Structures are given as structure tokens and as C-alpha cells.
């Protein structure tokens, strides 16, 4: 099979280059076996491995851009193998020691009693880590902040859960950058051991910080607001809910009925975008039911570890849809969607607007003479696994030029309020990528991303549905 492999010897050259090799391997061979075969012919290729069975974490590399364990990933003809996105020592070998040194040791209290079964059960999922550093290599917060990184946070939580440990893990985690994580979930999605670091470590550490009275003041304000208003965003203009009826009938025959969970941002910050979406849904035969008593989904509380008031919100939201007999609830905010799908137990199905529009099949819009790029909202891409649908919808209207990297814009996880420098630095990095595409406009599908990128980018930001609506408007103009 043919493979492209990154080669760099920093002792001799500054820039790495790709070399293509052709080698023979057996059926079912892993990437590691391909590297062995190359090495047998070209002994100058450097790469790391030890166990060959996914247990030691030596061999993580990027295969076609994605961090993977070389020993467990099936080799593919035409694949590209690169080092992790960490300082390269040679070829595929990266520096591991600085990151490994961030993983805190347990400080024994001295007694040799085992934790109880429930405690063990809570610790275990955080204990599978093989210290491969795939997560560290993709973490956006580490690039711009003093942040010890995902696996260090995983370890922090593992220690916080262990009655044998005497360390003060919460203040330590805060010093190590606990509040700089945007909860983008990139670390979880690349982890070969599927360790859910944002949900099982970072948000949990933040919840412990909350109990110790260490929640950031800006985050405390959010809870105050939600308790008073049911919303985590203050009202500064006429809200979306104030502008719409409870039931919105489509223009033509009804193809589907959905309940609409609006979310604080579309309700209070970007109501116009939500109105655009309603126009698109109307046009495509979707009856939209909008219970006006709905409240914040609670995502900002979960992400910042303030869980006390969460059940109240969850109860109200579930009730407002079930009482109307709604079996499909549509979200348009990626954060709300991810929260309803992953942090709620709902008796109804939750779908993102991109899923709904894709499933019903939309009326073709006119094409606009635009080249746009698409920013994947973390909570849509990784939180809900939605990647292709928005892209396909965009391509119906405009030319899509992809950015070189998929990365968090810095809007999430409470960083915009709690760690504004980090949030800003990430947005500026994102803007650089946007600039590089030369696109006329950047499309996204999340109010946090739209608002945040909009603050820091010169390039206009639009929602997928707004773009579709513009396509329809142009179509109608053409007819008129």
C-alpha cells in the first residue's frame, strides 16, 4: 500500500516534508505495522511504540489528520501519517515529557483502605487513560492559555474522587486553568479510551469548586439571573418569544410538526436569526409550536458547575413540551441541542434544525454569488455529531470553502464571561483561519459562535437558515 509519512529531522532541517512509501503488509494490518514495514526498508524513520495493543500510549500519531493510536488503527491505502500536533522531536516522535509532568500524583494520606465500590466505579472511567496525549494535542485552550490540559484535569478529578488523596485538588485545578476550558469536547472525541473529560472531569471539577465557594463571580451572576428571569441573558430588546405566536402554521401543506426550543441566545440576543429560521421552516411545511413558558436549558449552569437550580429548569422545559403532546422538539442553538440530547432524560426526540430541514428535504433556494466558509459549532459537531447536514444545506445556496482546521471559536464553557482573554484569543485565531479562506461570509449554526465570531471578525457571520432565507428571497425576486 502507498502511504505519505511526515519526515523531519530538526537537527538538519527546519521544515518537515512528506515522503511517500510503498510497502507490503498483511490483511488487517494496523498503521503501526505499516510503519514497521517502512522502517525495515528505511531505518531512518523514527516513531514510537511499545505494547502494540493500545495499552501503553506510546504510538499516537495523526492518521489523515485525526489523532489515533498507530497500533490499533487499521491501515488504509493512501493514508497520511503525521506526528501529533505537539513539538516534534523527529519524524513522528513528539515531546511527551512536559505534558506528562503536568499529571499530578496522588499524595497518600497513609491509610491503606480501599475506597468503596461506588467510589471505585466513579474513578474507574477516569483511570483508563494511557497518557497518549492525543487530547493534549488538540486542546484549543492550551494553545492560548496557561492550562495544564485535558488529561491533567482528568487526573485532577480522579484524585478529587479518591478518599486516599490528601491534596487540595480544586484550588490546584483552578490554578491549572480549570476555567479556561471551553468544553469544546475535542479532547473526548480523540481519546482512544473514550474518556469524557469535559463532562466527567472538567464540569465535575467546576461543580466541586462551586461547592467550595470557588465559582467565578461572573458565573455566579448567571445563576442569579436565571433564578430571577428563567434566562441566562438579560433582556435588552424585544425578545423572540414576544414576537411570535404559540403555533406557527406553514405556508403550504404540513409535512412535519415540531416543538421549538428557542434558547436564551436566540430569544434575547439574536431574535432576528430565529425569525429567519421560522420563515424557512414555514416555507418548507413545518408547523412550529413554541411554548412561551420555556426557560433556559441550563447549559451555562452545567458547563460552569452550578447544578443546584438545574432540575427546576429541566422540569419546566420537559413539562412545557409534554403537556402539549409534542414528540419532536427542535433546537437551533447547538448548545441547547447538545444539552437536551445529552444532559436531559426527555420523553420526546430532540433534533437540531439542520437535521429537521435535511430530513424533510427543502425547497431548492436560488444560488447566491457568494463564497462562504463554515464554522463547526463544537456542540453541534462533537456534542451532536452533526457535520454534513449544514454543509449540504449551505451548498444549496453558495460555494463552500472549508477552513484548514476545525477548532473551537472560544465562545463556550463560560469562558466568554469567565476567561475573556482566552475566549478572545481563540476567536482571533479562528478569524485568522476565516481570513485565509477569503470567504465573503462565515456561516455557522450556533448563536454563541455567531455572536462571538461576530464580535471579533470583520467577515460577516450568518446562520445556515439565514443564508437559506436569502436564497429564497432571491428566488422570489427572480419570480417577481
For ligand SF4, the binding residue among 5, 86, 135, 222 (CB under 6 A) is: 135
Residue 336 vs residues 70, 228, 416, 426: alpha-carbon distances, Å = 36, 20, 17, 22
Question: Could you tell me which stretch among 55-63, 195-203, 209-217, 291-299 binds ligand FES (CB under 6 A)?
Answer: 55-63
Q: Which of residues 145-174 bind ligand SF4 (CB under 6 A)?
A: 150-151, 154
Q: How far is the CB of 332 from ligand FES (least distance, A)?
A: 41
The single-letter DSSP state of residue 229 is: H
Q: How far is the CB of 191 from another protein (least distance, A)?
A: 12
For another protein, the binding residue among 14, 15, 26, 404 (CB under 8 A) is: 26
Quote the cell numbers at residue 160. 478529587
Quote the cell numbers at residue 77. 491505502
**CB-nearer residue toward ligand SF4: 185 or 466:** 185
For CA atoms 44, 47, 48, 52, give the dihedral sign. negative
Residue of 431, 337, 346, 344 lying closest to 386 (CA atoms): 337
Quote the cell numbers at residue 24. 507490503
> Is 421 near another protein (CB under 8 A)?
no
> Is 181 near ligand SF4 (CB under 6 A)?
yes
> Is 365 near ligand SF4 (CB under 6 A)?
no
The single-letter DSSP state of residue 363 is: P
Q: Which of residues 5-64 bind ligand SF4 (CB under 6 A)?
A: 57
How many whole angstroms from its chain centre is CA 425? Answer: 17
Q: How far is the CB of 194 from ligand SF4 (least distance, A)?
A: 8
Question: Could you tell me which stretch among 107-115, 145-153, 215-223, 230-238 binds another protein (CB under 8 A)?
Answer: 107-115
CA distance 421 to 417: 9
- 134 touches which of ligand SF4, another protein, ligand FES, none (CB within 5 to 8 A by kind)? ligand SF4
Q: How far is the CB of 219 from ligand SF4 (least distance, A)?
A: 16
17: three-class secondary structure by DSSP: strand
> Is 106 near another protein (CB under 8 A)?
yes
**Helix H or strand E encompassing 2:** strand 2-7
**Helix H or strand E encompassing 408:** none
- 150 touches which of ligand FES, another protein, ligand SF4, none (CB within 5 to 8 A by kind)? ligand SF4
**CB-nearer residue toward ligand FES: 132 or 381:** 132
3-state helix, strand, coil in the chain (%, to 5): 45, 15, 40
Burial 76-91 (b: 16+ CB within 10 A, else e): eeebebbbbbbebbbb
**CB-nearer residue toward ligand FES: 59 or 400:** 59
> Is 58 near ligand FES (CB under 6 A)?
yes
> Is 202 near another protein (CB under 8 A)?
no
> Which residues contact ligand FES (rule: CB under 6 A)?
49-52, 54-59, 69-71
Amino acid at each position: 500500500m502507498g502511504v505519505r509519512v511526515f519526515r523531519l529531522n530538526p537537527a538538519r532541517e527546519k521544515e518537515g516534508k512528506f515522503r511517500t512509501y510503498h510497502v507490503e503488509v498483511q490483511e488487517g494490518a494496523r498503521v503501526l505495522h505499516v510503519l514497521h514495514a517502512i522502517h525495515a526498508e528505511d531505518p531512518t524513520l523514527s516513531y514510537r511504540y511499545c505494547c502494540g495493543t493500545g495499552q501503553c500510549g506510546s504510538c499516537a500519531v495523526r492518521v489523515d489528520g485525526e489523532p489515533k493510536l498507530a497500533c490499533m488503527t487499521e491501515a488504509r491505502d493512501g493514508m497520511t501519517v503525521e506526528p501529533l500536533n505537539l513539538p516534534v522531536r523527529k519524524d513522528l516522535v513528539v515531546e511527551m515529557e512536559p505534558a506528562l509532568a503536568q499529571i499530578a500524583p496522588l499524595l497518600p494520606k497513609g491509610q491503606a483502605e480501599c475506597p468503596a465500590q461506588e467510589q471505585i466505579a466513579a474513578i474507574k472511567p477516569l483511570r483508563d487513560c494511557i497518557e497518549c496525549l492525543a487530547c493534549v494535542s488538540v486542546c484549543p485552550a492550551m494553545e492560548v492559555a496557561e492550562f495544564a490540559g485535558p488529561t491533567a484535569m482528568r487526573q485532577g478529578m480522579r484524585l478529587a474522587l479518591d478518599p486516599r488523596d490528601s491534596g487540595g485538588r480544586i484550588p490546584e485545578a483552578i490554578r491549572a486553568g480549570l476555567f479556561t476550558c471551553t468544553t469544546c469536547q475535542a479532547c473526548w472525541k480523540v481519546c482512544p479510551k473514550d474518556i469524557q473529560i469535559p463532562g466527567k472531569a472538567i464540569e465535575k471539577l467546576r461543580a466541586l469548586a462551586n461547592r467550595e465557594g470557588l465559582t467565578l463571580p461572573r458565573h455566579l451572576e448567571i445563576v442569579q439571573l436565571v433564578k430571577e428571569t428563567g434566562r441566562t441573558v438579560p433582556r435588552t430588546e424585544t425578545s423572540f418569544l414576544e414576537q411570535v405566536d404559540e403555533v406557527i402554521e406553514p405556508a403550504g401543506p404540513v409535512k412535519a410538526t415540531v416543538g421549538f426550543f428557542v434558547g436564551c441566545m436566540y430569544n434575547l440576543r439574536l431574535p432576528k436569526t430565529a425569525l429567519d429560521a421560522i420563515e424557512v421552516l414555514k416555507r418548507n411545511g413545518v408547523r412550529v409550536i413554541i411554548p412561551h413558558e420555556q426557560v433556559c436549558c441550563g447549559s451555562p449552569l452545567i458547563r460552569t458547575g452550578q447544578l443546584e437550580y438545574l432540575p427546576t429548569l429541566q422540569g419546566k422545559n420537559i413539562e412545557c413540551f409534554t403537556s402539549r403532546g409534542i414528540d419532536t422538539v427542535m433546537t437551533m442553538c447547538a448548545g441547547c441541542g447538545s444539552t437536551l440530547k445529552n444532559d436531559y432524560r426527555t420523553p420526546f426526540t430532540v433534533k437540531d434544525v439542520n437535521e429537521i430541514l435535511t430530513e424533510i428535504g427543502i425547497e431548492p433556494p436560488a444560488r447566491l454569488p457568494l463564497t462562504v466558509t463554515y464554522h463547526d459549532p463544537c456542540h453541534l459537531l462533537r456534542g451532536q455529531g452533526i457535520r454534513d447536514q449544514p454543509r449540504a444545506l449551505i451548498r444549496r445556496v453558495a460555494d463552500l470553502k472549508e477552513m484548514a482546521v476545525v477548532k473551537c471559536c472560544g465562545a463556550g464553557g463560560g469562558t466568554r464571561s469567565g476567561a475573556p482573554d482566552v475566549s478572545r484569543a481563540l476567536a482571533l485565531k479562528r478569524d485568522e483561519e476565516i481570513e485565509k479562506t477569503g470567504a465573503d461570509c462565515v456561516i455557522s449554526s450556533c448563536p454563541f459562535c455567531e455572536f462571538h465570531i461576530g464580535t471579533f471578525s470583520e467577515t460577516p457571520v450568518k446562520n445556515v437558515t439565514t443564508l437559506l432565507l436569502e436564497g429564497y428571497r432571491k428566488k422570489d425576486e427572480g419570480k417577481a
